[in-house]
């Protein structure tokens, strides 16, 4: 039994959290004008995008496919 599906679920949850929190902070910046909220929102949006890249390349990170395999 592999824990890879569980790991994928955790990554997906982290992506949803990052984008949700990032949007919430950016909306907070619109209400208060606090620069810290804008910076935090942008950082979490960036982290969510990085996690998407990680999730799409998880098989390569785990060694299931070779880096030269461009068909997947």
Contact 65, 32 (CB under 8 A): no
- Predicted local distance difference test score (pLDDT) of residue 27: 97
Residue with tokens 């997906």: 12
pLDDT band at 70 (very low <50, low <70, confident <90, very high): low
Closest by CA position to 48, among listed 13, 24, 18: 18
pLDDT above 80: residue 72 = no
Q: Is the pTM of this model over 0.95?
A: no
Report DSSP state, residue 67: T
Task: List the domain boundaries for the chain.
Answer: 14-58
Residue-wise pLDDT tens digits, 37-65: 999 999 999 999 999 999 999 888 888 76
| Number of C-beta neighbours around residue 22 at 10 A | 20
- Predicted local distance difference test score (pLDDT) of residue 67: 58
């Amino acid at each position: 039994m592999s824990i890879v599906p569980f790991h994928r679920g955790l990554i997906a949850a982290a992506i949803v959290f990052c984008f949700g929190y990032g949007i919430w902070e950016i909306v907070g910046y619109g209400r208060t004008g606090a620069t810290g909220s804008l910076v935090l929102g942008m950082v979490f949006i960036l982290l969510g995008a990085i996690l998407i890249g990680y999730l799409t390349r998880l098989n390569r990170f785990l060694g299931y496919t070779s880096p030269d395999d461009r068909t997947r």
